[in-house]
């Protein structure tokens, strides 16, 4: 999970054409499968993400998990600073 600032990303569509090779077709199929999974389990993924976020923010993660997770609050602050920099230019 990383914070995403509205307006600085685009949603990409995977379009398969006859010109694509088998490797790119396989990759696009894999992405489509992942998209379907995410859509199906959206609520579950969000619930788990919120639990992780809260545990990390409260310093309640086990050390081995704490070491491998992002500092969400630091990333959120950086995202807000980025947004302010865009607004100031």
The DSSP line for 1-45 is -----TTS--PPP----TTS-HHHHHHHHHHHHHHHHHHHTHHHH
Segment among 8-22, 24-38, 57-71 with least mean pLDDT: 8-22
Whether 31 is in a domain gets the answer yes
Whether 11 is in a domain gets the answer no
Mean pLDDT of 40-44: 96
Range of the domain at 49: 22-88
Whole-angstrom distance, CA of residue 77 vs CA of residue 21: 42
Whether 57 is in a domain gets the answer yes
Q: Quick check: 37 pLDDT over 90?
A: yes
Please tell me the total count of domains within the chain.
1
Residue 12 structure tokens: 């990409």
Q: Quick check: 27 pLDDT over 80?
A: yes
Mean pLDDT of 4-33: 78
Q: Quick check: 3 pLDDT over 80?
A: no
Whether 4 is in a domain gets the answer no
In percent, the amount of the chain with pLDDT more than 70 equals 89
Whether 9 is in a domain gets the answer no
Other C-beta atoms lying within 10 Å of the C-beta of residue 61: 16
């Amino acid at each position: 999970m990383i914070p995403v600032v509205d307006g600085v990303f685009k949603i990409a569509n995977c379009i398969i054409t006859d010109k694509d090779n088998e490797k790119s077709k396989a990759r696009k199929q894999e992405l489509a499968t992942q998209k379907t999974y995410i859509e199906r389990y959206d609520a579950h993924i969000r619930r788990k993400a919120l639990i992780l976020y809260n545990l990390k923010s409260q310093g309640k993660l086990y050390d081995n998990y704490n070491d491998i997770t992002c500092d969400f609050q630091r990333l959120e602050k950086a995202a807000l600073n980025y947004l302010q920099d865009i607004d100031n230019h």
